[in-house]
Structure 1
Amino acid sequence: MYLIQTLKEGPVAACYKARVAEAAVAALQSLYPGQKVWYGPASCARVNETGVEMLNCLQETEIVTAWRVSLRREENGVREFVYPNRRTLRGLVRVTVWGQPDDLMAEAHSEAAARSLAQHGLTDLPLRFAVGDLPGV
C-alpha cells in the first residue's frame, strides 16, 4: 500500500499498486507545478489514520474538473448556481449531495452529473431529525 503526499497538503490519497501511485504523482505534479509531490509505502493503519481516499485504478488518476451545483428553494422557484470547483484527480472528486432539503449542493465529475445529482437530492434528500424523534428511543 502506498500513500501519496504533497508538501503543502500532506497525505492526499492512497493506493494498492505502485503503478497507480506513480500515475497519481505525475498527474498531481502537472496540477501543482513547483510543489513537491511524492509517494511512499504505508501501512494499512497509517492510511486509515489519515482518512484519505483510495485510488483503485489508473482511471482514477485522470485529471478532471470537479463541478458543483447549488440549488436553493425560494419564494418564486428554485435558484441554481453552477460553477467549476477545482481541478483534481477523478478518484478525489466527492460525488455526493449534501445540505438541507431547501438548500443543497452536489459535486460530481461533470456539470451535467452534478446538476442531475442536485435535482435528485432536491426531491429525495431526507429531512433532518433528532434521535429523540424516533419512537422508542
Structure 2
Amino acid sequence: MPSITLTYLKNLKQRSEKITMLTCYDATFAHELSTAGVEMLLIGDTLGMILQGNDSTLPVKLEDMVYHTTCLKRGNNGGFIIADLSFMTCSSPEQALHSSAQLMQAGAQMVKIEGGEWLCDTVHQLTRNGIPVCVKSGHDPY
C-alpha cells in the first residue's frame, strides 16, 4: 500500500469513497491492518482497558501512548497513524502542544482529542504549529 497522507484522505473524501480506520496497539496488528489496506490506524487510549486491564481510559499516561505509537509505527506499512491524547494531556493549549509533539515524534501523523467548544484554542494552537488534529465530541458508552 502506498503511504497514506492527509491529501490522499482528502481526495478520498471528495470522491465520497469510504475510508477505513481501525484501532490497534502494536507492530503486529499495524503491519497486518496496513498491509490489508486499512488507511487509518488509531492508537486509542482504550489500550487502558484492552491491554492494561483497567476499567476505564483514565489511568492511561502519555508515556503509554508514546510507547504504543512507537510500536505501531514499526509495524506500519503505509497506513496513516492517529494517536489519542489521553486524559489530562491536553488540559491547556500549551500542554496539548507538548503532548502532541511527543506523539508526533513517536510516529503519529495526527492527534485525536475529545471534548467540545472549549478545545477551540487548543486546536488552533496545534494546527498553527503544524500538528493535524482530529476532534471527537461526545463520549463512548463504556
TM-score interval for Structure 1 and Structure 2 normalised by the shorter chain: under 0.3
Per the normalisation by structure 1, the TM-score is 0.24
> Quick check: which one's helix share is greater?
2
> Quick check: which one's strand share is greater?
1
Per the normalisation by structure 2, the TM-score is 0.24
Structure with max Cα Rg = 1
